[in-house]
């Protein structure tokens, strides 16, 4: 087996392991993938995913250390940074020495003040999600990443994209199952309360959803959660 195929197998095996668990601890799976990436990319010490839903909604997933989370907080607070640029502009961002970096001055000042990180590599992840996601690698020494680091980082960014998309699909599937179950419970409550059949109960839920401009699953959750207080 080639080294690249072995790397792909390792990452996908980590994803498969977490999908077989009942709780679906996706952050732990992403952290394991990040640890594999750090071990394999020359110069890397820390890794994390920056997940972006608008400038006010920036979160960190799978961080192998607290520094990736701190640096994402810096980006959120200042509205700029390499991970945001990598996610928004489809670029690979390479910071060789944060102390001399001039593209994001507010980010640079806060990052140097709050962490010892000097080198940064950010890769945009591609896939099915509407979210913007970047894989970020960090090191405390300047000049930590070379051409080999970038080449291997691209490989692991591709593997992480596969993992991210797979886990997002799994999350969506589990969410759909949970929604189906709670909608079924809500239908049962309405059928019992109003002596109607399943079709009429679902139509009532649908009408409530439309009139209140609220997701049908949320309407169902409210009905089910209110039941104990009414008994």
Assess contact for 63 and 46: CB atoms under 8 A: yes
The hierarchical CATH code for the domain 3-171 is: 3.30.450.80
- CA-based nearest residue to 125, from 190, 48, 72: 48
Which pTM does this prediction carry? 0.70
> Domains of the chain: which residue ranges?
3-171, 175-230
Domains 3-171 and 175-230 alike in fold: no
**pLDDT of the chain along its 231 residues, tens only?**
456 555 555 665 665 555 554 455 778 888 988 999 999 999 999 999 999 876 568 899 999 999 999 999 999 999 999 988 887 776 899 999 999 999 999 999 999 999 999 999 999 998 655 678 999 999 999 999 999 999 999 989 988 888 888 777 766 556 656 667 778 888 888 888 888 888 888 888 788 888 888 877 787 888 888 765 444
The hierarchical CATH code for the domain 175-230 is: 1.10.10.10
Three-class DSSP category at 224: helix
- Nearest 5°: the CA angle 98, 101, 106 is 90
- CA-based nearest residue to 7, from 168, 129, 165, 154: 154
Helix H or strand E encompassing 139 = strand 132-139
């Amino acid at each position: 087996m080639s080294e690249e195929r072995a790397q792909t197998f390792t990452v996908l095996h980590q994803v498969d392991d977490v999908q077989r668990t009942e709780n679906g601890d996706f952050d732990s799976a992403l952290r394991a993938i990040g640890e594999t990436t750090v071990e394999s990319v020359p110069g890397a010490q820390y890794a994390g995913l920056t997940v972006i839903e608008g400038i006010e909604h920036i979160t960190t997933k799978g961080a192998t250390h607290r520094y990736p989370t701190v640096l994402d907080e810096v980006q959120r607070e200042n509205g700029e940074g390499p991970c945001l640029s990598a996610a928004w502009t489809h670029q690979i961002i390479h910071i060789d020495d944060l102390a001399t970096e001039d593209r994001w001055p507010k980010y640079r000042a806060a990052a140097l003040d709050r962490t010892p990180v000097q080198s940064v590599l950010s890769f945009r992840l591609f896939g099915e999600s509407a979210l913007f996601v970047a894989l970020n690698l960090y090191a405390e020494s300047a000049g930590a990443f070379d051409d080999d680091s970038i080449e291997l980082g691209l490989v692991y960014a591709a593997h992480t994209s596969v993992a991210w998309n797979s886990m997002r699909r799994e999350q969506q599937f589990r969410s759909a199952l949970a929604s189906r179950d709670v909608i079924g419970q809500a239908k049962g409550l309405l059928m019992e309360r109003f002596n109607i059949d399943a079709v009429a109960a679902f139509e009532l839920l649908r009408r409530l959803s439309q009139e209140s401009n609220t997701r049908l699953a949320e309407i169902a959750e409210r009905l089910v959660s209110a039941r104990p207080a009414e008994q």
